[in-house]
Amino acid sequence: MPDLDAVVIATPDYSHGPILVAALKAGKDVYIEKPMTIDLPSANAALDLARAQNRVVQAGTQRRSEGRFLGAAKLVANRTLGTLSRVTAAVNFNQARWARSTVDCREAEVDWEAFQEHLPRRVPFDAKLLRQWQLYRATSNGLPGLWMTHYADAVHLVTGAKHPSRAVALGGTYIWKDGREHTDTFHAVVEYPEGFLLTGA
């Protein structure tokens, strides 16, 4: 489609990489919701293509355009708050997050083959994978990718930091024993070479 300049990708996480690579191969600029991909090979392929074709790719995260975070970045930059040593960020839910109901999900209304895209084929139709894809390893990277991506990006925006030097994390399925493959509880400590820690849950 030569008259199409750019593509917006707002699909389940596992499909981001293949769609992004296809859009770049077609010579399009791309706005993609986070995460850019959930696997390193497709991330590297997309980066190489974007550079080779001189394309614009923006991965969108929450808070990136919020005034209060931009204001906080100014406070940190001019040292109004003193020396930063630790940033703590967390979101807590008292419900089974992403465990959407499947009672009205009918196989006849779903293109199951298309939904699975490049994934190994699952037969028969699985309404839980369709409606609750955030809970499975083949389709998402769990709480670190679903939530912590936002925290880390906000920390980078506010502090100007780019890459952590090391990290440690723990998690488990402590509450929602519903067949999910990702943890329902997660905590990470991330160290930055600028001299501060990010703790996120």
Where residue 179 falls among pLDDT bands split at 50, 70, 90?
A: very high
Give the pair of three-digit tokens for residue 89.
Answer: 């960020």
pLDDT reported for residue 200: 87
Look up the CATH number of domain 67-200: 3.30.360.10
Mean pLDDT across the chain: 94
Is the pLDDT score of 25 beyond 90?
yes
Identical fold between 6-60 and 67-200: no
| Maximal CA-CA distance, the chain | 60
Q: What is the fold of 6-60?
A: Rossmann fold (3.40.50)
pLDDT reported for residue 65: 82
Q: Which residue has the higher pLDDT, 103 or 90?
A: 103
Share of the chain above pLDDT 70, in %: 100
Domain definitions of the chain by residue range? 6-60, 67-200
Give the model confidence (pLDDT) of 115-163 as tens digits.
999 999 999 999 999 999 999 999 999 999 998 999 899 999 999 999 9
Distance CA 24, CA 18 (A): 10
Distance CA 151, CA 25 (A): 31
Where residue 197 falls among pLDDT bands split at 50, 70, 90?
A: very high
Where residue 94 falls among pLDDT bands split at 50, 70, 90?
A: confident
Distance CA 6, CA 16 (A): 15
Burial class (CB in 10 A: 0-12, 13-18, 19+), 182: buried
DSSP state of 144: I
Is the pLDDT score of 201 beyond 80?
no
Q: Count H helices and E strands in the chain, helices first.
A: 7, 7
pLDDT reported for residue 63: 86
